[in-house]
Amino acid sequence: MDADHAAAVATGLVWVAEQGQRVVGLLVLEIAHDHALIENVAVSPDAQGLGVGSRLLALAEQQAGERGLREVRLYTHEAMTENQEYYRRRGYRETHRSRGSGFQRVFFTKDL
């Protein structure tokens, strides 16, 4: 991941999930005037299936709700079909697809 998350860290919009002394998950959230955007959510391969991702998504939704926002958005690469199904199972719906930064992306939203 090439993203520079310094600004998000400075504003307190980055969270990590830990297992013992290890970081096993990451959430980077951006707040817009009418929605929250999950800029990045990632779970270590050896921690997948343990509920880490679900807890991080729930945290994003909680943070959005606490700020009076009624929508959470996210996107993933078109090739990440397992991620797409994962988001659908958690109540996110696909809104559109577009190419950006050389990648074909699939965009999702969830109403809170």
User: In this structure, which topology does domain 6-111 adopt according to CATH?
Assistant: Aminopeptidase (3.40.630)
pTM: 0.88
| Confidence category of residue 2, pLDDT binned at 50, 70, 90 | very low
Q: What is the mean pLDDT of residues 34-61?
A: 97
Sheet strand arrangement including 36-43:
14-19, 22-31, 36-43, 71-77, 103-111, 93-100
Query: What pLDDT, in 10s, does the model give residues 59-111?
Result: 999 999 999 999 999 999 999 999 999 999 999 999 999 998 889 999 999 99
